[in-house]
Structure 1
Amino acid sequence: MTLSGGLSRPGERDRPIIKFTEIDWTLCLVLALIAGAGALMLFSIAGGSWEPWADKHLLRFGIYFILMIALALVDLRVWFSLAYPIYGVGLLLLVAVALVGDSSLGAQRWLAVGPVRFQPSEIMKIGVVLALARYYHGLSADSARLSWKLLIPAALIGAPVLLVAHQPDLGTAMLIALPGLAVMVLAGLSLRLIVVGAVGVLAALPPFIFFVLHDYQRNRILTFMDPEKDPSGNGYHIMQSKIALGSGGLLGKGWGLGSQSQLNFLPEKQTDFIFATLAEEFGFVGCVSVLFLYGVAIFMALRIASISHSHFGRLSAAGVTATFALYVLINGAMVMGMAPVVGVPMPMLSYGGTVMLTVMIGFGLVQAVRVHRYTEVTSGKGSLM
């Protein structure tokens, strides 16, 4: 028996069939629509062919969708008990990258285990959120607001961020740091400390840019401020992206008719700059439609976070949603020339299995928070008893 609106009684929530029906299938549909839009764009920029991108994109989404559903059925107390181990394994793998990682294009970001090659930094996008959510779950409101205990979450965020920035991978470092800071704020961080921290970051930016960043990273930022200064070099990406965005107009040139992408003027058209391809072929209307889908997904995920009965559930779902939202925000700003090019793809729309896997695992956690929203998560060791 269920309550009105399809919500199960707390006593019935552990039945497998009830768990399955508690999944937010509307959110699943929205994610499928975004991935479908990505497949259409990948088909277009390949000259009307499913290969080499669109077929793999859809296959990966299908596999990861099943994984998301499986993770949604995992008890929230299991997520709680695994939070620190996931973080710890991710941190050890980042150290391994620094010591024996594979290098490519001047960056040391990958680990190779036999034929498998992966980026451990992706694990930390979930690991940091889980570790922070577990830590704050057992912390008093006063300690979360302002106390020496805030050094612990600062260290939980700072350690992986420094290791990832050293690779160097500034975009991923931001996608670890900012959601972590969002969890701290949502946990009740003092407004005074937030203001002081923001002022400190702004003051540290100039010396960080000129004395810490690598030359190519510094050039990206300077080029972002004046791309016309080097139109055939560092400014090429931004200028071609702006041309594609502007040429699409209101309704676009039509599917498969984008000159910037079809004639290969637009770099990384299948990954970082796929949103510019969308703008050229489907115009302002197409861009707004896809951004609306992203907005719906973010709203629904935040609503799921708000209805969880556990502090761990609320913070973990909100942190994962913040990561997803930042993907969209950073890529959109980058494509429009409002932010430096940092290699952050548009989630579910861009081609790439690693980012899609991270996003779908994140939404598996969000769905688990919804399915187990009545679950009481105990502090301490996170026992299932």
Structure 2
Amino acid sequence: MKRVGLMDQVSLVLTLMLALVGIVFVHSSTHSVPGQSLMWVKQTLYLATGMVIYTVLALSDYKRWVDRGNWLGILGILLLVAVLVWGHKVNGARSWFRFPMFSLQPSEFVKISTILWVTKYFSSIQERPSSLIEFSVSCLMIGVPVGLIVMQPDLGTALLYLPFFLIPNFLLGNKESIWVTCIGILFVGLIIGGVIFKPNWVFFLKPYQKDRIIAFIYPERDTSNSGYQVHQSKISIGQGGLFGMGIGKGKQTKLGFLPAQHNDFILAVVAEESGFLGMSALMVMFLVLFWRGLATAVEARDSMGSMLAALAIGTLALQTLFNGAMLTGLVPTTGIPCPLVSAGGSSMWTTCALLGLVQSVRAHRFVNH
């Protein structure tokens, strides 16, 4: 009970509020869609089980999970290999294990295992001067799961592994990370340039991935195929105005013009039905949640807790940023869900687990065992 009192109650309330907002808009976007009318019920069950995960992790000692980071990291890699062999294809990507009642996306859960693995490794080397060998090991630890995810192919989820490399290296002052970051940015620029000017050179991208990049650069060129989702998303956002059209009254939503409106593009539904004010309120809740998470990282009792909280919050913040930017075409469409709000069990459980670990870091600031 003592640890419950040390938890961040504001973050807990914000987590529940964001998830409940998600359920409301999942219902709004699916209640009239054949075969999806009970999606909100499933999302409610995902939230209930997610909060169990959240509570268990928040009340446990995060050090115990970090100490198991090596084994969990290896298990995560094995899961990614398994899904490449036995996984089910959805939208061209072999990213899912399908079960009778639900599906699981291993790359979501591997975020957790990789964060714990990276935290354990960097915590063990923080007292030693950084070297090229240690830097190379960290690149390998993160590069292997990222490579396996790219092979599915799922570039969107792979991008979310970026903080796993940047945050620990910057916290430890590794100069090599700055050079690798610059090289990475240059590489992305070359890929985009290659797709535009010499598409045949970028042989490792699937045709639909090239189409998405072209739609990102030239959104007005093809609003009926590759650029359709973003085009309809912009219409939804514009129709929302200041106050919105009302819950369940969005024209884009009701008429089915907006694809993936209950998961990847659910924020467009929020914008259409609750307007600028509703969308702003949602973003403020996210900002406060992430701000308090970063405060937990700063106030942690040790560098292990600080790194764990920073990695968890950095990952969720980047995911939210990418999802929001995707709606307006600021980044290519990548299939990244909005944490807590988008429909989906894997995303909900992973988000709750990461936030639960952050709560554990906060609750153990003054606990010695």
Counterpart-to-counterpart distance in 2, 1:108 and 1:254: 37
**Are 2:365 and 1:373 aligned?**
yes
**Are 2:250 and 1:264 aligned?**
no
Counterpart-to-counterpart distance in 2, 1:203 and 1:59: 43
Structure 2: unaligned runs, 5 residues or longer: 196-201
Superposition pairs for residues 119-138 of structure 1, below 5 Å?
119-138=105-124
2:63 corresponds in structure 1 to 77
Counterpart-to-counterpart distance in 2, 1:112 and 1:39: 23
**Alignment RMSD:** 2.1
Task: Please tell me whether the aligned partners of residues 31 and 38 of structure 2 are also in contact (alpha carbons under 8 angstroms).
Answer: no
Task: Provide the secondary structure at the position in 1 that maps to 2:153.
Answer: coil
Counterpart-to-counterpart distance in 2, 1:364 and 1:140: 25
Counterpart-to-counterpart distance in 2, 1:240 and 1:279: 12
- Which residue, 161, 179, 203 being the options, matches 2:186? 203
Task: Provide the secondary structure at the position in 2 that maps to 1:227.
Answer: coil
- Which residue, 46, 52, 59 being the options, matches 2:30? 46
**Are 2:83 and 1:100 aligned?**
no
Does the C-alpha gap of structure 1 residues 234 and 197 become closer, same or farther in structure 2, counting only changes over 3 Å? same
Task: Provide the secondary structure at the position in 2 that maps to 1:43.
Answer: helix
- The alpha carbon displacement at 1:236 in A equals 0.6
Q: Which amino acid aligns with 2:185?
A: L
- The alpha carbon displacement at 1:142 in A equals 5.8
Task: Provide the secondary structure at the position in 1 that maps to 2:125.
Answer: coil
Task: Provide the secondary structure at the position in 2 that maps to 1:110.
Answer: strand
Counterpart-to-counterpart distance in 1, 2:249 and 2:102: 37
Structure 1: unaligned runs, 5 residues or longer: 1-16, 377-383
Q: Which amino acid aligns with 2:95?
A: R
- The alpha carbon displacement at 1:157 in A equals 0.7
Counterpart-to-counterpart distance in 1, 2:63 and 2:56: 15
Q: Point out 4+ residue stretches in structure 1 off by more than 6 angstroms.
A: 113-116
- Which residue, 130, 133, 137 being the options, matches 1:152? 137
2:208 corresponds in structure 1 to 216
Task: Please tell me whether the aligned partners of residues 31 and 37 of structure 2 are also in contact (alpha carbons under 8 angstroms).
Answer: no
Does the C-alpha gap of structure 1 residues 180 and 375 become closer, same or farther in structure 2, counting only changes over 3 Å? farther
Does the C-alpha gap of structure 1 residues 48 and 215 become closer, same or farther in structure 2, counting only changes over 3 Å? closer
Task: Please tell me whether the aligned partners of residues 143 and 149 of structure 1 are also in contact (alpha carbons under 8 angstroms).
Answer: no
Task: Please tell me whether the aligned partners of residues 108 and 350 of structure 2 are also in contact (alpha carbons under 8 angstroms).
Answer: yes
Q: Which amino acid aligns with 2:6?
A: E
2:198 corresponds in structure 1 to none
Does the C-alpha gap of structure 1 residues 111 and 37 become closer, same or farther in structure 2, counting only changes over 3 Å? closer
Identity of aligned residues (%): 33
Counterpart-to-counterpart distance in 2, 1:102 and 1:43: 26
Task: Please tell me whether the aligned partners of residues 83 and 94 of structure 2 are also in contact (alpha carbons under 8 angstroms).
Answer: yes
Task: Please tell me whether the aligned partners of residues 46 and 344 of structure 2 are also in contact (alpha carbons under 8 angstroms).
Answer: no
Does the C-alpha gap of structure 1 residues 39 and 103 become closer, same or farther in structure 2, counting only changes over 3 Å? closer
Q: Which amino acid aligns with 2:180?
A: G
Task: Please tell me whether the aligned partners of residues 137 and 311 of structure 1 are also in contact (alpha carbons under 8 angstroms).
Answer: yes
Q: Which amino acid aligns with 2:154?
A: D
Counterpart-to-counterpart distance in 1, 2:50 and 2:126: 37
1:338 corresponds in structure 2 to 330
2:199 corresponds in structure 1 to none
2:226 corresponds in structure 1 to 234
Does the C-alpha gap of structure 1 residues 62 and 100 become closer, same or farther in structure 2, counting only changes over 3 Å? closer
Task: Provide the secondary structure at the position in 1 that maps to 2:17.
Answer: helix
Aligned residue pairs, count = 358
Task: Please tell me whether the aligned partners of residues 161 and 177 of structure 1 are also in contact (alpha carbons under 8 angstroms).
Answer: no
Q: Which amino acid aligns with 1:122?
A: E
- The alpha carbon displacement at 1:220 in A equals 0.2
- The alpha carbon displacement at 1:203 in A equals 2.5
Bigger shift: residues 77-86 or 38-47: 38-47
Q: What do residues 326-354 of structure 1 show as CA deviations (whole Å, max 9, x unaligned)?
A: 11100000011111100001111111111
Task: Please tell me whether the aligned partners of residues 32 and 254 of structure 2 are also in contact (alpha carbons under 8 angstroms).
Answer: no
Task: Provide the secondary structure at the position in 1 that maps to 2:25.
Answer: helix
- The alpha carbon displacement at 1:181 in A equals 2.1
Counterpart-to-counterpart distance in 1, 2:95 and 2:38: 24
Q: Which amino acid aligns with 2:21?
A: A
